């Protein structure tokens, strides 16, 4: 027998019928059998199983069920060379599902297991569908083999341990020869990941097979997520020592990050307004549950046995299923008016409604240690990559090679857009470029990173070589740091002729004067060659840090931004509102607009860049939030003035405003004067009263606005990305040629 397919069942109903039908409709020459272990179904599950004569049915009492031991039992009733585990609600999504998985495992004799992709069912809730898709896309788009090839990294990086340990026996296949030696442990949760972790540590391989898909997702009631998250994080603590939240007081910050991410995703969908509001409420409640239950699950191992028993009875879905107890309602759900207030209320809720002992919710007697090195360890890393002269001689007569070391990115990062724009342009000029992510968290394979970049950053040439890790980075003529965190890696990478620092802002000023400020500032003394956005940074780094620098200026995307006429006579101000970015001086701008409203009551304001719905705004306004790029030009053009505060270096935004036929207003200073001055912009200081006065004056003198609008259009039209690319190209070539003379 080639394959034994094992399916634990209980009240599987019509869905199990669909699963068995798909299993027996596989196009394959493999000989396979199906074993179902039922643990007390009271619906028509047994009748459904008996419809399929080739299914071997094993029945056990509900109290005998265990995720590990029940699957071990199912495997023992078959003889297949491979044991394929699925669940009663995991529907094979291809008639080659079985064939593809076995073929993938057989290609590698050391491969002990394979796991396949999960597709969310049609109708899966919005957030689960996103999470399932993103999770499995992170493993690659082709058959991808994994094994423990770096034990130092395995000991050091939690993300790497998670990557190697993950498997899901909703859709996973193991070699019987290995499994019979090392069966599943008799555990309540994560039996598949515990086993996979053991196999990786023993030297076996695993394969991720996206060509063996199943549909598998759930639309659980919200109250059920709390219980599932408790079990999940209890298991992750046991498996990896991982905690989503270590301290009760950290719950607000952790949940706020999830809520913010979910709200951003929901806002970007095409759903109607009321649907978006529904999913925001749903996400808010689920993210609170996730962090509160995750905190409790992480504390489980530290609790006394009687407290663990109480926690299981109250919170554990697995415990309730195993003991056939009627589920207790979680009580009233907490909906909070302010995101940052929910932790205290959540803890109070749990104490009041469930009588949880104080010891569960407070810190352990020995509170967890803060690992400073986990966050800032790059400053201590002294593992030098030495210069290899043989590598240099082999590459000497070929095209110049650049290794760009960049921080991990999300969607729509303006700094990354600039980096990718120049990388692509330099590639077209004959320089060979490679991209490396330093300390990646979300991208575990090069394919996953490449697919993300293709979708999120189409400006990047698809031929550029990309890597999700700096491990094994080869020789290059020039290595380029692009942020202060990446500069520490570049400092110790010496297998290059030249070291460059692509500086788009003075990053020290992103922080209060403290450790991060100093760690960022230290990087300007590393002896790199600077390539700066604008002359302010060039002058500052040369003057204060003796860093040799060349600069480039900005242009804009001429396909997106063009002159548009204003279509009405309403006095309207655009405000780039980023309360989460201190250097954008949101509060100063808001004070100025409040004063302007008192003077010009009919004023309308468009807020864009962030959701400002939780701010009191007593005048007519539009809370546009994050606006699609294709709509920005017209939005700017329909405003008389665009107020864009920038307390450090300028971004592309002033040029984009000018090119759209509007007028930029920003504060003066050396950091801005390399692009804007009184000839093409309204220059203000950082006094809200002064800002309001300047805006009022220009609104009352449309002829002055017309002059600035014309000057801005002319200045924007004079800029050119090709010219700026030439500057960067010449700076790199010059630096490498000069440094070659010193070898």
Going by their DSSP bridges, the two strands 641-643 and 476-481 should be labelled as: unpaired
For position 354, what pLDDT does the model report?
A: 44
The helix (H) or strand (E) run that includes residue 539 is helix 535-545
CB atoms within 10 A of CB 612: 20
**Residue 328 reports pLDDT greater than 80:** no
User: Is the model's pLDDT at 507 over the cut of 90?
Assistant: yes
Tell me, what's the pLDDT at 350?
Answer: 45
Q: Domain 377-552 is of which CATH architecture?
A: 3-Layer(aba) Sandwich (3.40)
Cα 192 to its chain centre, rounded Å, is 25
- Rounded Cα gap, residues 418 and 424, in angstroms: 10
Mean pLDDT lowest among 93-97, 359-363, 440-444: 359-363
The answer to whether the 377-552 and 572-719 domains have the same CATH topology is: yes
Asked if residue 157 lies in contact with residue 440, where contact means CB atoms within 8 angstroms, the answer is no
Angle at 62 between CA 57 and CA 67, to 5 degrees: 80
**91 has a pLDDT exceeding 70:** yes
Confidence band for 643, pLDDT divided at 50, 70 and 90 = very high
Cα-based distances in Å from 293 to 120, 192, 472: 24, 22, 39
What's the pLDDT at 367? 42
The pLDDT of residue 334: 37
Is the pLDDT assigned to residue 338 strictly greater than 60?
A: no
Q: pLDDT digits over 468-486, tens only?
A: 999 899 999 999 999 999 9
Confidence band, pLDDT 50/70/90 cuts, at residue 440: confident
CATH number for the region 572-719 comes to 3.40.50.2000
pTM of the full structure: 0.56
For 221, how many CA atoms within 13 A lie in the half-sphere containing its CB?
Answer: 7
Domain boundaries, the chain: 3-215, 222-361, 377-552, 572-719
Q: To which residue do tokens 């403290």 refer?
A: 514
Contact 528, 499 (CB under 8 A): yes
Position 437 scores a pLDDT of 94
The DSSP 8-state label assigned to residue 202 in this structure reads T
Check pLDDT > 90 for residue 315.
no
The residue-averaged pLDDT of 496-522 equals 94
- Residue 379 contacts residue 488 (beta carbons within 8 Å): yes
DSSP letters of 243-268? -S-SSGGGHHHHHHHHHHHHHHHHHT
Question: Is the CB of residue 80 less than 8 Å from the CB of residue 166?
Answer: no
Confidence of residue 331 (pLDDT cuts 50, 70, 90): very low
The answer regarding whether domain 3-215 maps to CATH 3.30.420.40 reads no
| Structural contact between residues 313 and 319, judged by C-beta atoms closer than 8 angstroms | yes
Average confidence (pLDDT) over 362-386: 68
Greater confidence, 17 or 452? 17
pLDDT band at 341 (very low <50, low <70, confident <90, very high): very low
State the Cα–Cα distance between residues 198 and 113, nearest whole angstrom: 12
| pLDDT at 499 (0 to 100) | 98
3-state secondary structure 82-127: EEEEECCCCEECCCCHHHHHHHHHHCCCCEEEEEEEEECCCCCCHH
Q: Name 111's bridge partners.
A: 205
Q: How far apart are CA 434 and CA 441, in angstroms?
A: 19
**Greater model confidence, 376 or 478:** 478
How do residues 147-205 score in pLDDT, each as one tens digit?
998 888 888 777 788 889 999 999 999 999 999 999 998 877 788 999 999 999 999 99
Query: Phi/psi of residue 662, each to 5°?
Result: -120, 180
Q: What is the pLDDT of residue 624?
A: 86
The answer to whether 501 and 481 are in contact (CB under 8 A) is yes
Q: What confidence category does residue 343 fall into, taking pLDDT thresholds of 50, 70 and 90?
A: very low
Q: Is residue 429 predicted with pLDDT exceeding 70?
A: yes
Within 8 A by CB and 6+ apart from 180, the residues are none
Work out the average pLDDT over 342-368. Answer: 45
Token pair belonging to 90: 């995991």
Note whether 692 and 389 are within 8 A (CB).
Answer: no
């Amino acid at each position: 027998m080639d394959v034994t397919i094992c399916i634990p069942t209980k009240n599987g109903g019509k869905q199990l019928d669909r699963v068995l039908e798909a299993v027996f409709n596989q196009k394959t020459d493999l000989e396979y059998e199906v074993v179902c272990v039922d643990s007390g179904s009271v619906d028509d599950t047994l009748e459904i199983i008996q419809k399929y004569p080739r299914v071997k049915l094993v029945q056990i009492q509900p109290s005998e069920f265990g995720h590990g031991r029940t699957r071990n039992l199912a495997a023992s009733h078959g003889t297949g060379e491979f044991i394929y585990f699925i669940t009663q609600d995991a529907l094979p999504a291809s008639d080659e599902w079985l064939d593809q998985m076995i073929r993938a495992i057989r290609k590698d004799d050391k491969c002990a297991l394979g796991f396949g992709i999960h597709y969310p069912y049609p109708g899966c809730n919005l957030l689960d569908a996103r999470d399932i898709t993103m999770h499995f896309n992170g493993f690659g788009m082709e058959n991808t083999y994994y094994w423990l090839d770096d034990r130092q990294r395995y000991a050091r990086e939690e993300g790497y341990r998670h990557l190697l340990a993950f498997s899901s026996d909703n859709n996973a296949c193991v070699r019987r020869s290995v499994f019979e030696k090392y069966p599943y442990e008799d555990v309540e949760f994560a039996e598949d990941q515990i086993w996979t972790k053991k196999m990786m540590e023993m030297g076996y391989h695993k394969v991720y097979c996206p060509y063996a898909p199943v549909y598998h997702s759930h639309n659980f009631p919200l109250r059920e997520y709390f219980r599932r998250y408790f079990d999940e994080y209890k298991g992750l603590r046991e498996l990896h020592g991982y905690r989503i939240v270590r301290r009760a007081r950290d719950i607000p910050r952790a949940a706020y990050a999830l809520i913010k991410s979910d709200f951003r995703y929901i806002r970007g969908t095409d759903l109607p307004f009321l649907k978006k509001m529904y999913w925001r409420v749903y996400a808010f409640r689920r993210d609170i549950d996730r962090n509160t239950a995750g905190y409790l699950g992480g504390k489980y191992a530290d609790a006394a046995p009687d407290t663990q028993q109480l926690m299981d009875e109250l919170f554990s879905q697995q415990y309730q299923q195993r003991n056939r107890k009627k589920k207790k309602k979680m009580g009233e759900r907490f909906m909070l008016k302010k995101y940052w207030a929910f932790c205290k209320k959540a803890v109070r809720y749990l104490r009041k409604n469930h009588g949880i002992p104080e010891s569960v919710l407070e810190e352990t007697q020995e509170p967890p240690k803060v690992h400073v090195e986990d966050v800032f360890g790059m400053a201590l890393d002294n593992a030098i990559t030495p210069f290899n002269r043989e590598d240099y001689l082999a590459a000497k007569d070929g095209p110049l090679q650049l290794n760009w070391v960049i921080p991990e990115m999300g969607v729509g990062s303006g700094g990354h857009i600039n980096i990718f724009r120049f990388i692509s342009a330099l590639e077209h000029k004959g320089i060979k470029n490679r991209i490396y992510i330093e300390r990646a968290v979300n991208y575990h394979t090069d394919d996953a990173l490449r697919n993300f970049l293709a979708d999120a950053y189409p400006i990047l040439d698809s031929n550029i070589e990309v890597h999700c890790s700096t491990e094994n980075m080869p020789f290059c003529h020039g290595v380029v740091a692009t942020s202060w965190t990446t500069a520490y890696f570049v400092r110790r990478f010496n297998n290059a002729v030249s070291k460059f620092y692509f500086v788009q802002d003075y990053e020290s000023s992103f922080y209060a004067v403290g450790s991060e400020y100093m760690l960022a500032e230290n990087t300007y003394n590393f002896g790199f060659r600077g390539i700066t956005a604008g002359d302010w940074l060039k002058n500052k780094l040369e003057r204060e840090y003796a860093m040799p620098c060349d600069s480039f200026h900005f242009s804009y995307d001429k396909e997106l931004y063009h002159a548009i006429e204003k279509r009405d006579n309403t006095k309207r101000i655009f405000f780039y509102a980023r309360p989460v970015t201190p250097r954008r001086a949101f509060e100063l701008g808001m004070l100025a607009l409040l004063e302007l409203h008192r003077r010009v009551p009919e004023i309308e304001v468009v807020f864009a860049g962030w959701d400002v719905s939780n701010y009191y705004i007593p005048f007519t306004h539009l809370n546009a939030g994050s606006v699609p790029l294709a709509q920005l030009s017209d939005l700017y053009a329909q405003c008389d003035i665009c107020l864009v505060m920038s307390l450090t270096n300028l971004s592309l935004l002033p040029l984009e405003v000018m090119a759209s036929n509007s007028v930029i207003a920003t504060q003066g200073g050396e950091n801005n004067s390399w692009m804007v001055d009184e000839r093409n912009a309204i220059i203000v200081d950082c006094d809200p009263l002064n800002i309001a006065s300047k805006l009022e004056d220009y609104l009352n003198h449309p002829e002055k606005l017309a002059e600035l609008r014309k000057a801005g259009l002319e200045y924007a039209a004079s800029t050119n990305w090709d010219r700026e690319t030439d500057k960067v190209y010449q700076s790199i070539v010059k630096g490498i040629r000069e440094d070659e003379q010193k070898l």
